[in-house]
Structure 1
Amino acid sequence: MLQKDRSGQVLTGASALAAEKYQQALDAYYCYAGDPMGCLQAATEDSPGFLMAHVLSAYLSLIGTNAEAAAAGVAAFEAAAALPGSERELGHVEALRRLLAGEIAGAARTLEAVTITEPRDVLALQVGQVLDFLLGDSRMLRDRIGRALPHWSRSMPEHHAVLGMLAFGLEETGHYDRAEDAGLEALSLERRNGWAQHAVAHVFEMQDRRAEGVAFMRADIDAWTRESFFQVHNWWHLALFHLGQGEAHEALKLFDGPIFQARSDMALDLVDAASMLWRLQLHGVDVGDRWAPVADIYEAKAMGGAYAFDDAHAMMAFVGAGRTEAQAELLQAQARAVGDNVGMVRDVGLPVLRALQAFGSGDYARVLENLRPVRNIAARFGGSHAQRDLIDLTMIEAASRGGDQALHAALLAERQAAQPLARRRFHQAA
């Protein structure tokens, strides 16, 4: 008997038991919580020819993880590529093929085609939005989801996932009120939706509503932390709110606890650890020897040249820990970029890496020389507005330390104009 998922998508090669396990994996992935890989292992053990179980395993293993997981992701892709499937399912296989070739934009467009035809394929929507995030494509973060909305209603079980994605897309395109509403509605349907939680946190961050952000994050910590593989990023948001209120001790406490206590080598977690320490130092906080273990993990990964946005955070760690040899090796690794990362390195990544290195050596004029041409196009190397704000914060501090008072005052003024509730430290400085 032909099996289908809850949204009505055909599941080629699945038994009834395997389809059930796959649905459990999907539900976990939609919330970024639980054990989707365990469910998928059970599904493929029962039905080795279950194409979409291999596909989801590959997605989970290849994006934002570590070398070991990525190797498992390649194996999952190879298993999927050898199997027959529907046009929709083969679209997922093609997206994985392009992703492995470094064609992030191509993979995103492939999934765009899937969801234009199959707007209730939540997996294609979710992975597609993650790829839009890697590309820094704010419009597609919104419009990929907006196109599917007419096919969804509140009564459908996966609607919370669609609303959570919509919230993030609206936030990244500046529709903050609508983003907050969509995110809160998603959480009302599924309190454990970590993506919706993070979307609302982004709204508070961009509007500088720090106290509200702290209250929101602390209101139901269990919901977004229990069994969550996205919790580090949400803890990072809470630390950011505290830092913005001048509570550096709280940010440090969170860094030493849930942000870096486990010393995860997952790419997404390392980005949060490095960016939090860099922000603390820009705020004049002595972080002690906290840089060393972050730099140790980045050195052990030795994956420079794979994705410019991650490499920028590796450079922060190497600069913070004083690892000059690692800095030089990371810069050399940019020549190994392939696929879309070639353009990311050329347009933004390499200037940002050079600027961060210059900041560490006290050459603040070179920091500004590298960052001023790229800050307005920094989305080209991925991330969110909140994450890329580190470029502006570094420029402000470089202008101050380098004695360029006119530029320093101008940068503070533009920040105040853009955010009337400007971040406390810079507002006081002005």
Structure 2
Amino acid sequence: MTIHDSRDLAVSTADADLVAGLEKAHELFLTYSGDPLGEIEEVLDGAPDFVMGHIFKAALLTQAMETRIYRDMVDALEKAEALAMRANERERLHIRAIRAWADGDFHRAVDLWDEVLVHYPRDLLALQLAHLSDVLLGDTTNQRDRVARILHAWDESVPGYGYVLGLYAFGLEENRDFAMAEECGRRAVALNPADAYAVHAVAHVMESQGRQSGGINWMRSREGDWAYGNFANHLWWHLSLYHLDLGQYDRVLDVYDTCLRSTDQSGDRYEELDAAALLWRLNLLGVDVGERWKTLADKWEPSATDTLYAFNDVHAMMTFVADGRWEVADRVLHAHERYTTAANDANSAMTRTVGEPFCRALKAFAQEEYGAAVETLLPIRYRTRYLGGSHAQRDVIGLTLLEAALRDGRHELALALASERTALKPTSPQNWRFAARAHRGLGDHRRAAEAEARAVALHG
């Protein structure tokens, strides 16, 4: 027996209440609110043979990218696999995709979710998982085009259309189509103010365009919709970036202390990497953050050698080197060496290409070996998308390279890098301050003063 869900997709069950419970859990996942895992577990407690329930649980856990979560994901997957004979073709494709993910073949998993979307373009779970995986893998083009490929099957009459627009908005932004990205993002938020991902897409547009005051106003005006959900840490990080660009470091630290810093020692890695990324940016700018590094490094140290996801590893490394934990930093590098020698999965390629070199550069930078940091980062600066994340998140690599060049006295290189930044985002005070320092290092005090004046004028 099958029942069709709100988007007319067949679900292998005869119980309409199970489908309703599944859709409720998925809505929480889409809005980054509540407890979608607890919601689906409650459904499964009463119906342990509900195959799509196990699929959803396993799919949800794929996105955690944490070793401590991995066993739970595999358990849910194995329960779904044991029920595969009861599943329909769409559901079996989901099972195969999650199995590929569990085996470390992230690209194959995305290909299988894409196959689901070709045949079932209204499968919002497949779309969400493929899109989030594109972000994890740094597949910028498909962050946009994968959503575009299913738009023919959607309009405002289909439940969840706003979420599709929100995903599309982010993909458009990452491909620098800022006008359409903002239009789609604002439209998604108008359809559903609780869509934190769409709020986040518009925040990205404003950060990329250097619209600091507009970004602050956007985030604060929507604060009631996002500040208490499961995506709040990342959105507080976005708000902090605007203040950071304006040189308002006291406000950045206030946001960090009151909103961004997690108090849970076990930690959610996605939350903790936002904290590490923000403190490292402050560190590059010479801002004293006191004991904050120690607290954060304490949280990261238990997972120092996980090597499950390179993006996590580099943020862990920031905390270790900033707090002077050289032995722990070396453990990370040794774990990378063992892992990349033995493994051949998607993450090992990410680690080998960007993660491990960036970790070495972070250690060199913290030990004031700025020349070594420059030499390590220069060859990978155009490959950083393979680390995953967004342009805004990966910008920390470019910032580290530029600051290392300045501190190493390589002012011609620093000026070239700063010029690249001012051309791309001319309304960024921080970019003009970098340019001023480079000109000053080259002895061109007139142009240094002009760049500094631009920075001051942009403070508003």
**In structure 1, C-alpha distance between the alignment counterparts of 2:222 and 2:428, rounded to whole Å:** 27
- Report the equivalent of 1:426: 434
Structure 2 residue matching 1:372: 3-state secondary structure: helix
Q: Is the 8 A contact 2:165 2:185 kept in 1?
A: yes
- Report the equivalent of 2:136: 134
Match of 1:412 among 411, 418, 425: 418
CA shift for structure 1 position 220: 2.1
CA shift for structure 1 position 269: 1.0
Match of 2:339 among 320, 323, 336: 336
Match status 1:77 vs 2:80: no
Match status 1:115 vs 2:117: yes
TM-score (norm 1): 0.97
Q: Is the 8 A contact 1:211 1:245 kept in 2?
A: no
**In structure 1, C-alpha distance between the alignment counterparts of 2:40 and 2:238, rounded to whole Å:** 30
CA shift for structure 1 position 142: 0.5
Q: What letter corresponds to residue 416 of structure 2 in structure 1?
A: A
Q: Is the 8 A contact 1:65 1:266 kept in 2?
A: no
CA shift for structure 1 position 14: 5.7
**In structure 1, C-alpha distance between the alignment counterparts of 2:69 and 2:94, rounded to whole Å:** 19
Q: Is the 8 A contact 2:65 2:308 kept in 1?
A: no
Q: Which moved more, 1:294-303 or 1:114-123?
A: 294-303
**In structure 1, C-alpha distance between the alignment counterparts of 2:209 and 2:6, rounded to whole Å:** 37
Structure 2 residue matching 1:396: 3-state secondary structure: helix
Superposed counterparts of 1:112-261, under 5 Å: 112-226=114-228, 228-261=229-262
- Report the equivalent of 2:263: 262
CA shift for structure 1 position 428: 5.0
CA shift for structure 1 position 243: 0.8
**In structure 2, C-alpha distance between the alignment counterparts of 1:37 and 1:77, rounded to whole Å:** 14
Match status 1:29 vs 2:32: no
Q: Is the 8 A contact 1:14 1:49 kept in 2?
A: no
Match status 1:319 vs 2:325: no
CA shift for structure 1 position 65: 5.2
Match of 2:397 among 391, 406, 412: 391
**In structure 2, C-alpha distance between the alignment counterparts of 1:16 and 1:213, rounded to whole Å:** 43
**In structure 2, C-alpha distance between the alignment counterparts of 1:49 and 1:96, rounded to whole Å:** 18
**In structure 2, C-alpha distance between the alignment counterparts of 1:154 and 1:268, rounded to whole Å:** 32
**In structure 1, C-alpha distance between the alignment counterparts of 2:184 and 2:271, rounded to whole Å:** 26
CA shift for structure 1 position 212: 0.5
**In structure 1, C-alpha distance between the alignment counterparts of 2:406 and 2:125, rounded to whole Å:** 46
Q: Which moved more, 1:60-69 or 1:17-26?
A: 60-69
- Report the equivalent of 1:351: 357
Give the 3 Å change call, closer, same or farther, for CA 260–202 of structure 1 in structure 2: same
Q: Which moved more, 1:291-300 or 1:318-327?
A: 291-300
* Residue-by-residue CA offset, 1:319-366 (whole Å, 9 max, x unaligned): 111110110000011122441112112211111111111001111111
* Residue-by-residue CA offset, 1:287-330 (whole Å, 9 max, x unaligned): 11111121111111244321111111111011111110110000
- Report the equivalent of 1:368: 374
Q: What letter corresponds to residue 360 of structure 2 in structure 1?
A: R
Q: Is the 8 A contact 2:262 2:271 kept in 1?
A: no
Q: Is the 8 A contact 1:57 1:73 kept in 2?
A: yes
Q: Is the 8 A contact 2:185 2:202 kept in 1?
A: yes
**In structure 1, C-alpha distance between the alignment counterparts of 2:164 and 2:62, rounded to whole Å:** 22
Match status 1:290 vs 2:292: yes
CA shift for structure 1 position 115: 0.4
CA shift for structure 1 position 71: 2.4
| RMSD between superposed Cα atoms in Å | 1.5
**In structure 2, C-alpha distance between the alignment counterparts of 1:210 and 1:427, rounded to whole Å:** 19
Q: Is the 8 A contact 1:25 1:36 kept in 2?
A: yes
TM-score (norm 2): 0.90
Q: Is the 8 A contact 2:415 2:435 kept in 1?
A: no
Structure 1 vs Structure 2: percent identity of aligned residues?
Answer: 39
CA shift for structure 1 position 199: 0.7
Q: Is the 8 A contact 1:255 1:261 kept in 2?
A: no
**In structure 2, C-alpha distance between the alignment counterparts of 1:222 and 1:14, rounded to whole Å:** 39
Give the 3 Å change call, closer, same or farther, for CA 95–285 of structure 1 in structure 2: same
**In structure 1, C-alpha distance between the alignment counterparts of 2:35 and 2:203, rounded to whole Å:** 24
**In structure 2, C-alpha distance between the alignment counterparts of 1:261 and 1:25, rounded to whole Å:** 25
Q: Is the 8 A contact 1:15 1:47 kept in 2?
A: no
**In structure 2, C-alpha distance between the alignment counterparts of 1:223 and 1:86, rounded to whole Å:** 37
* Residue-by-residue CA offset, 1:121-175 (whole Å, 9 max, x unaligned): 0000000001101110000100110000011002222001100000011011110
Structure 1 residue matching 2:291: 3-state secondary structure: coil
Q: What letter corresponds to residue 368 of structure 1 in structure 2?
A: V
**In structure 2, C-alpha distance between the alignment counterparts of 1:324 and 1:179, rounded to whole Å:** 43
Question: Structure 1: which 4+ aligned runs deviate by more than 6 Å?
Answer: none
CA shift for structure 1 position 38: 2.3
Which has the higher relative contact order, 1 or 2, with Cα contacts under 8 A spaced 6 or more apart? 1
* Residue-by-residue CA offset, 1:404-426 (whole Å, 9 max, x unaligned): 11111111111111112134343
Report how many residues are paired: 429
Q: Is the 8 A contact 1:14 1:47 kept in 2?
A: no
Give the 3 Å change call, closer, same or farther, for CA 393–340 of structure 1 in structure 2: same
Select the structure of larger CA radius of gyration: 2
Structure 1: gaps spanning 5 or more residues: none
**In structure 2, C-alpha distance between the alignment counterparts of 1:90 and 1:47, rounded to whole Å:** 19
Q: Is the 8 A contact 2:67 2:308 kept in 1?
A: no
